[in-house]
Amino acid sequence: MGNVLVVVEQLNGKTGEITFEMLGKGRELASALGGELHALVIGGQADELGIADKVWVMGDGALAHYTSANHKAALVAAISAISPRVTLIGNTSIGMDLAAGASAATGIPLIAYCNALRVEGGQVVGTSQIYGGKVLAEVAPEDGACIVSVLAGAFPASAGRSDKTPVLETLAPPALDNRVRFVRLIEPEAADVDITKAAVVVSVGRGIQSADNIELADGLADALGGVVGASRPVTDAGWLPKSRQVGKSGLRVKPKLYLALGISGAPEHLEGMKDSGLIIAINQDASAPIFDVAHYGVVGDLFEIVPALTEKIKG
Amino acid sequence: MNIIVIVKHVPDLVEELEIAEDGKDLNRDFLKFVVNEFDDQALEQALLLKEKGGGTITAVALDAPEIDQTLFTCLAKGADKAVKIVGDLEGRVTSHAAAHMLADALKAMSHDLILTGVQSAEDLDGQVGPLLATYLGEPHVSVVTGVEARGQMVVVRQEYAGGVTGEFEVDLPAVLGIQAAPQPPRYAPISRVRATMKEKKLVEIQAAAADGAGLNVRQMVRPQVASHAEMIEGNTDTVVERIVGIMAERGLMNG
Amino acid sequence: MLTSEEKVYFGILVILTLSWAAIDFARIAAVIVSRPGFSVRVVLSRAVRRLPSMLTQVGATLPVFRLRPREGVFHYLIFAAFSFYALVNVLDTFSAFTGFSTIGQNVLLDAYNLIADVLSVLGLIGMAYFLVRRFVQKPPVLNFNPGVVLYPKVSAGGIRRDSLIVGAFILTHVGSRWLGTAFHLAQAQETSLYLPTASVVSLALAGLPAAALAFGVHATFWLAVGLILLFFPYFVRSKHIHIFFAPLNWLLRPDRPLGEIQPLKTDGRPLALQDLRWHQLLDTYACIMCNRCQQVCPAHNAGQPLSPAALEINKRYYLTDHLHEFADGSAPRVPLLDYAISREAVWACTTCGACVDICPVGNAPMLDIIDIRRSLIEQGDTLDAGVQKSLENLGKQGNSFGASGRARAKWTQGLPFKVKDARKEPVDYLWFVGDYASFDARSQQLTRLVAKVLNDAGVSFGILYEAEWNSGNDARRVGEEGLFEMLAEHNVAALDSAQFKEIITTDPHTMNALRFEYAKMGKRYKVSHYSQVLARLVDEGKIVLRPQNGVNGATRRRVTYHDPCYLGRYNRVFDAPRALIERSGLQLVEMPRNHNGSFCCGAGGGQIWSANSKQAERPSEQRIREALALGDVQTFIVSCPKDMAMYSDAVKTSGNEGKVVVKDIIEVVVEAMAESAHEPKR
Ligand SMILES: Cc1cc2nc3c(=O)[nH]c(=O)nc-3n(C[C@H](O)[C@H](O)[C@H](O)COP(=O)(O)OP(=O)(O)OC[C@H]3O[C@@H](n4cnc5c(N)ncnc54)[C@H](O)[C@@H]3O)c2cc1C
Ligand code: SF4
Ligand code: SF4
């Protein structure tokens, strides 16, 4: 059998985007393997998972709060009960606890940091992004089953949503492992923005011209769920606090998306952001060095493009 | 509290990485190695715990090129003991094999807490921390950004996306994968490292035999990197359309 | 003549005051001499050798004129009067005891009287000037930035009080003597052509009764000569002890080049006065608290809490307060950071050397700062994140950029020829390129230009490729001595593997390390800056500059030039870049601060690695302002890759884009070469 099991990630009662990304991919893998797509919910709720053929729901209040020990035990129990061919786990904080832990406990090999998956001659082949993204390794399990930890954003989430109602089945929870005990969740304080932790940084340079125009960047950052960063002249001028400065004498950032608006790309600035996942630069000057490190570039006026872009994203 | 810090050497990513001829590993002839940055955070966290509550720190590493220097740096920063696990350790050691060897060695070393870096650039088959914890039968928490000792347990903070953190009590002994210490890793002056090399010795332990990760590496490739941005042309509408498209492709449009 | 009673009192006074002063003086000497590194033999031979130059230096008080020529003049008046008064006081005492009079004796004594008379008045004028300056004008250069650590007695106005006491003393001393002479003349009812001013006053006194005149003679003697005796013990504790220690400092200070710093063992303890070398304590006593060093300090000018003057002043007050304990060795070790300077100030120094260069008494406050940094590094002080990252990069990859050490010669890609590998074939010039010129994207194209010009001129040169590491100059100045040693050892080995006649460097900081600091490791290299080599090639006709600029009556373009600290003050290279500019047909307009008085760009001593966000106006921005104030200067020429980074940024951040362009000297040369190429061949 070639069933694919997606481990549903829920925090604070909300299903993470990564889950739908995995479900979409899982659907594709399941049909290539001639099996079913299953989802596993540990201690949570099974809404929105209509794309799965079957949803396993394990546990109750005791597992409601995520703890690495309990949820690992639960996952291990579920894998031995369901025996999936492929187990997909998000490469998130939670997934980092679970995937390697389950691999060690079950002896099933793990493909980590996976950003591409396919079935070839009946075998699952995964591509793992290692060495800081500088190398892609194509790997396959020596035999049969595997666990895969999937990078966020690797697959489209849209393919993982459906309004069908899945078959629900309950699984008995394992004995609790109380060596790790949940205390509380702490929400980030709204006041302090840490640009090094944001997935999206919308950075502005001197091209923004004045403090008043910063709100343009704020709007775009809000729409993208990101934060606003800056080059040094902008923080020097006091248009943004020093804590937003990217670069040699500021902070080094590595977000998934870095938007450089009106930044020329001086070496001191590039030093702080060149390793970002995706860099898009908007600058009037076609010869600005920022275009040497950006993945995509637009030669144009930021005051025209940014408002239009914000509008478009807001939908 | 007796703390073990696992340190690991990884290829320095500022170097051009070349793929070996068989396409299954890096060409290791010219690689330069540096300590995994998260292991540095783990050591800093250990030093802070020791400064606050006393105890000992033992740095443990699998043998690797230039690892002695790194172990001496740990000693220079304030670790009490440094252990090098030696054996047949040529080429890339999988995380599973490393965890097996470490588990074997650590069983014999009394400890309350094991700190590792949350991940390394090399762990294709998973992070060492949870593997090691499972082999040792100890609880484990990944992506830890704060540790506080409280008797026979520690209170740790685990970080999730969007800045949300979870707080947990963890019974000891336990393994923690450190993402960031509360303060940046300290600097070890070269003269002190050199002095430590003269004053102290590394303890060597023979590595146990260990299985691999159960994976076949079919090939390694380097992704194409463009030396210049792909330029998006057209009027504002087309440009905006295209940017949104690119962001959507990468799953960046969901907030 | 004194009465016999007066003579006895005078004798007692001499013995009491002089021995009191001598004891304190001996204590100071003991404190200095007992410091590490003091050797009587070395110091004596140095003194003998230096005596002539010291005498001219001090005799003309040359260094006092720098930066403050007007004060220099008035100071000279006091200096001359006071020096001459050494003789006057002796002769006056002699006269007072014997009744001998210098008036109307012979030509020599006539001249003596004339000089004494004139100098008395000039000295009084000089002193009055300084009192007015300090207490009425209150020039801002005498204030310290907010946040500068000051010894409690200093913040309580100690320097002002000291100045007031000494000022009043000099006025009284000189004034009384002068008045005394007038009383003498009035008593003798004569006037003298050789005592013009005293004679005029004597006429006014002439009408007084004889008793009053006699009293005047006695009172002014006591106020002049008696006062100076009373003053001796105070003197040793006042800032005016500089009149002894300043000449001594010029005589005895080590003759090390500015850029060669001494290793220091701190044993991981916070640095205290006890750890300083003897000459660092001599500095303390030589200091006249003039604040010139602070006036030229880029960090102080940027509003940071660093004042090299305050450092010396605090040391001095502390030592004076604890002189007994220091003399008998019982003084506790109190970290300098507790009272002399703040940690923040220590980390703000750019090691520009301006304070050392300007100090009129030959002090080197910068050395103390570097020493404190070393002890901080040893103790594991929390470093600025950028500095720490750069040090780690240097340790790992041999460059501060954290780039792969193997990519060191990547800049050569795109050159139409292959740069020789000096490890593989002998070359005339070994080019030690340096980090910025090798890795900074902005500088790389300039580095390629230099390579092309050298190549076209037929120069045999090569580089060390990946075997070149950072010279360690900045690492050493950040205080990371071990790292400096490691880098230096590596580079020396690499240089040993190459065959060359001379080293060229792009970076002046590198030049300093190779030239002065590697010499201490037994390696004496001939090191030239690329501007020097270019100038030489122009002289030899191997580079042809036939600029159109300025030819046939066309006006020459006005440009200015910035002397990099490490090229100018440290390596004394001033002329080569200027020659290149002139030969390129440009008209060089000097900024007010030029040559060894140049103003630091703010990058040195590891500052280019640090965030340094607490500057009110960056030194580089102040410098751009200085250049623009010249009027009609649109080109700002530099000869250091770090300057290129600092100033092209400063032009933007000071909002002067389009008004002034920063150009490297190589661009100037290449432009002039291109013009000569276009000239029709004759
Ligand atoms: C030691 C040192 C440390 C430094 N550290 C840092 C650091 O940490 N971070 C940092 O950022 N810098 C740092 N700098 C400064 C750096 O050298 C540059 O000066 C700075 O990055 C330039 O900022 P910028 O790109 O915003 O400004 P500029 O270089 O002036 O670029 C503005 C850009 O905006 C474009 N533009 C203008 N109007 C528009 C418009 N309407 N639409 C689109 N584009 C427009 C222009 O074409 C231009 O390219 C440092 C410098 C030094 C010397
Ligand atoms: S070396 Fe320069 S920066 Fe340092 S104290 Fe002296 S003048 Fe100031
Ligand atoms: S150190 Fe020199 S320049 Fe500075 S205050 Fe003292 S005497 Fe003046």
Pick the most confident of A7-11, B159-163, C36-40, C121-125: C121-125
Tell me the pLDDT tens digit for each residue of C326-360. 999 999 999 999 999 999 999 999 999 999 999 99
Q: Which has the minimum average pLDDT: A92-96, A246-250, C214-218, C413-417? A: A246-250
Q: How many CB atoms lie within 10 A of CB C52?
A: 9
CB contact under 8 A, C645 and A289: no
**C355 CA closest ligand 3 atom index:** 3
Q: How far apart are CA B165 and CA A94, in angstroms?
A: 11
- For residue A291, CA distances in Å to A274, B8, B20 come to 11, 36, 32
Contact C542, C676 (CB under 8 A): no
Contact in structure between B178 and B41 (CB atoms under 8 Å): yes
Give per-residue pLDDT as tens, B88-101.
Answer: 888 889 999 999 99
Cβ C293 under 6 angstroms from ligand 3: yes
Question: Which pLDDT score, from 0 to 100, does residue A271 have?
Answer: 84
Whole-angstrom Cα distance, residue B150 to residue B169? 9
How is B172-231 classified by DSSP, letter by letter? SSEEEEES--SSPPPP--HHHHHHHHHH---EEEEPPP----SEEEEEEEPPP--SSPEE
Residues of chain C above pLDDT 70, percent: 98
**Number of domains comprising chain C:** 4
Domain hosting residue C522, numbered range: 395-539
Among the partner residues B12, B188, B192, nearest to C396 by beta-carbon distance: B12
Look at C507 and C614; give whichever has higher pLDDT.
C507
C630 close to C598: Cβ distance less than 8 angstroms: no
Q: Indicate the residue of A206, A242, A248 with minimum beta-carbon distance to C613.
A: A242
Whole-number pLDDT of residue A187 = 81
Instruction: Measure the CA–CA gap between B187 and C394, rounded to whole angstroms.
Output: 12
Q: What is the mean pLDDT of chain A?
A: 90
Residue B255 is predicted with a pLDDT of 47
Residue C373 sits in the same domain as residue C400: no
Looking at the fold, whether C86 and C229 belong to one and the same domain comes out as yes
Contact between C228 and C173 under an 8 Å Cβ cutoff? The reply is yes
Among candidates C92, C85, C117, C88, which has minimal Cα distance to C193? C117
In a domain, C121, yes or no: yes
Cβ A48 vs Cβ A15: under 8 Å: yes
Phi then psi for residue C127, to 5 deg, are -65, -40
CA distances from B249 to A22, A154, A156, B223, B253 (A): 15, 9, 7, 18, 9
Which of B243, B244, B249 should be substituted to probe chain A, the one whose Cβ sees the most A Cβ atoms within 10 Å? B243
Give the SS3 label for residue A282. strand
C475 with C412, same domain: the answer is: yes
A233 contacts chain C (CB < 8 A): yes
Long-range contacts of C325-329 (CB under 8 A, 24+ apart): C326/C27, C326/C31, C326/C273, C327/C27, C327/C28, C327/C30, C327/C31, C329/C34
In this structure, are residues C480 and C605 in contact, taking their beta carbons and an 8 Å threshold?
Answer: no
Measured from the CB, is residue C670 less than 6 Å from ligand 3? no
In a domain, C545, yes or no: no
Cβ C218 vs Cβ C6: under 8 Å:
yes
pLDDT for A48 equals: 87
Q: Are residues C620 and C668 in the same domain?
A: yes
**C11 with C94, same domain?**
yes
In B27-66, the residues whose Cβ lies within 8 Å of chain A are none
**Arithmetic mean of pLDDT, C22-28:** 94
- Give the relative orientation of helices B95-107 and B128-136 as an angle to the nearest 10 degrees: 40
Residue ID of nearest Cα to ligand 3 atom 7: C287
Among residues C378, C406, C441, the one where a domain terminates is: C378
Residues in contact with B124: Cβ distance below 8 Å, sequence separation at least 6, in sequence order? A111, A112, A113, A128, A130, A137, A139, B94, B95, B213, B215, B217
Contacts of C552 (CB under 8 A, 6+ apart): none
Read off the amino acid at residue A179: R
Rounded to an integer, what distance in angstroms lies between the CA atom of residue C441 and that of residue C603? 17
Question: What is the distance in A from the centroid of ligand 1 to the CA of C2?
Answer: 80
The Cα of C392 is separated from the nearest Cα of chain B by a number of Å equal to 8
Fold observed for domain A195-314: Rossmann fold (3.40.50)
How is residue C372 written in tokens?
């404190």
**A-chain residues near B161 (CB < 8 A):** 16, 92-93, 152, 199
* CATH number, domain containing residue C317: 1.10.1060
Name the residue ranges covered by the structural domains of chain A: 4-170, 195-314
Ligand 1 center–CA C405 separation, angstroms = 27
For residues C136 and C113, give the distance between their C-alpha atoms in angstroms, rounded to a whole number: 33
Q: What is the number of other CB atoms lying within 10 angstroms of the CB of residue C101?
A: 12
Boundary-marking domain end, from C517, C539, C561: C539
What is the residue type of A143? D
Beta bridge partners of A279: A258
CB C63 within 8 A of CB C57: yes
Whether A236 sits inside 8 A of C440 (CB atoms) is: no
Same domain, residue pair C469 and C583: no
Contact assessment for residue A277 and residue A257, using Cβ atoms and an 8 Å cutoff: yes
Q: How confident is the model over B125-157, as pLDDT tens digits?
A: 999 999 999 999 999 999 999 999 998 999 999
Q: Is the pLDDT of residue C566 over 50?
A: yes
Instruction: Let me know if residue C446 belongs to a domain.
Output: yes
User: Is the CB of C287 inside a 6 Å radius of any atom of ligand 3?
Assistant: yes
Dig out the tokens for C654 from the structure: 């000071």
Q: What is the pLDDT of residue C682?
A: 41
Q: Is there an atom of ligand 3 within 6 Å of C366 CB?
A: no
pLDDT score for B162: 66
C459 plus C575 within the same structural domain: no
C414 touches chain A (CB under 8 A): no
Please say if the pLDDT value at position A79 is more than 80.
yes
C-alpha R_g of chain B: 21
Do both C525 and C555 map to the same domain?
A: no
Most B CBs within 10 Å, among A23, A70, A130, A222, to test the B interface: A130
Checking if the pLDDT of C550 tops 60, the result is: no
Q: Tell me: the pLDDT tens digits for A14-23?
A: 888 889 999 9
Query: pLDDT tier at C640 (50, 70, 90 boundaries)?
Result: very high
Query: Are C510 and C591 in a shared domain?
Result: no
pLDDT of residue C681: 44
CB-nearest to C386 from A233, A242, A249 is: A249
The verdict on C521 and C569 lying in the same domain is no
Which ligand has the shortest distance to the CA of C353?
Answer: 2
Look at residue C669 and tell me whether its pLDDT is greater than 60.
yes
Farthest-apart Cα atoms in chain A, separation: 64
State whether residue A265 is helix, strand or coil: coil
Residue C619 Rama label (left phi>0; alpha psi -120 to 50; beta): alpha
Is residue C184 located within the same domain as residue C299? no
Per-residue pLDDT, C676 = 66
Question: pTM of the predicted model, to two decimals?
Answer: 0.89
Tokens linked to C472: 């360690």
Instruction: Give the distance from residue C439's alpha carbon to the nearest chain A alpha carbon, in angstroms.
Output: 10
Question: Is the bond leading into B173 cis (omega within 30 degrees of zero)?
Answer: yes
**Average pLDDT of the residues in C241-248:** 92
Q: What is the pLDDT of residues C411-432, one digit of tens each?
A: 999 899 999 999 999 999 999 9
The 3-state DSSP class for residue B58 equals strand
Residues C555 and C509 in one domain: no
Would the pLDDT of C678 be above 70?
A: no
Give, in order, the Cα–Cα distances in Å from A120 to each of A28, A123, A206, C33. Answer: 13, 5, 51, 84
Query: From the DSSP assignment, how many helices (H) and strands (E) are in chain A?
Result: 8, 17
C477: in domain: yes
* CA dist., res. C157 & res. C165, Å (int): 12
Q: Ligand 2: list residues with CB < 6 Å.
A: C 296-299, 306, 308, 349-355, 365-366, 369, 600
| CB within 8 Å of chain A, chain C residues 591-610 | 609-610
Contact B125 A103 (CB under 8 A): yes
Could you say which of C237, C272, C306 is where a domain stops? C237
B9-18, B233-242, C188-197, C365-374: segment of lowest average pLDDT: B9-18
- Mean of the per-residue pLDDT values of chain C: 93
CB C72 within 8 A of CB C360: no
- What is the pLDDT confidence band of residue A224, given thresholds at 50, 70 and 90? very high
For the record, the structure tokens of C534 come out as 């270019």
Has residue C578 been placed in a domain?
Answer: yes
- Which residue shows structure tokens 């004596």? C44
Walk across the sheet containing A257-261 and list its strands: A227-230, A200-204, A257-261, A278-283, A296-299, B230-231
CB A116 within 8 A of CB A25: no
Instruction: Give backbone dihedrals phi and psi of A17, rounded to 5 degrees, phi first.
Output: -55, -35
Tens-place pLDDT, residues A170-183: 999 888 899 999 99
- Find, in chain B, the residue whose alpha carbon is nearest to that of C395: B190
Determine the pLDDT at residue C369: 98
| C386 or A192, higher pLDDT | C386
User: Is pLDDT at C546 greater than 80 in this prediction?
Assistant: no
CATH topology assigned to domain A4-170: Rossmann fold (3.40.50)
Maximum distance among all Cα pairs of chain B, rounded to whole angstroms: 69
For A128-169, the pLDDT digits (tens) are 989 987 899 999 999 889 999 998 878 888 889 888 888 899
pLDDT above 60 for C587: yes
Strand partners, C527: C503
CA–CA separation, C667 vs B67, rounded Å? Answer: 46
Q: Which ligand is nearest to the CA of C297?
A: 2
Spell out the domains of chain B, with CATH numbers in brackets.
2-206 (3.40.50.620)
State the ligand closest to the CA atom of C145: 2
Helix (H, G, I), strand (E, B) or coil at C440: coil
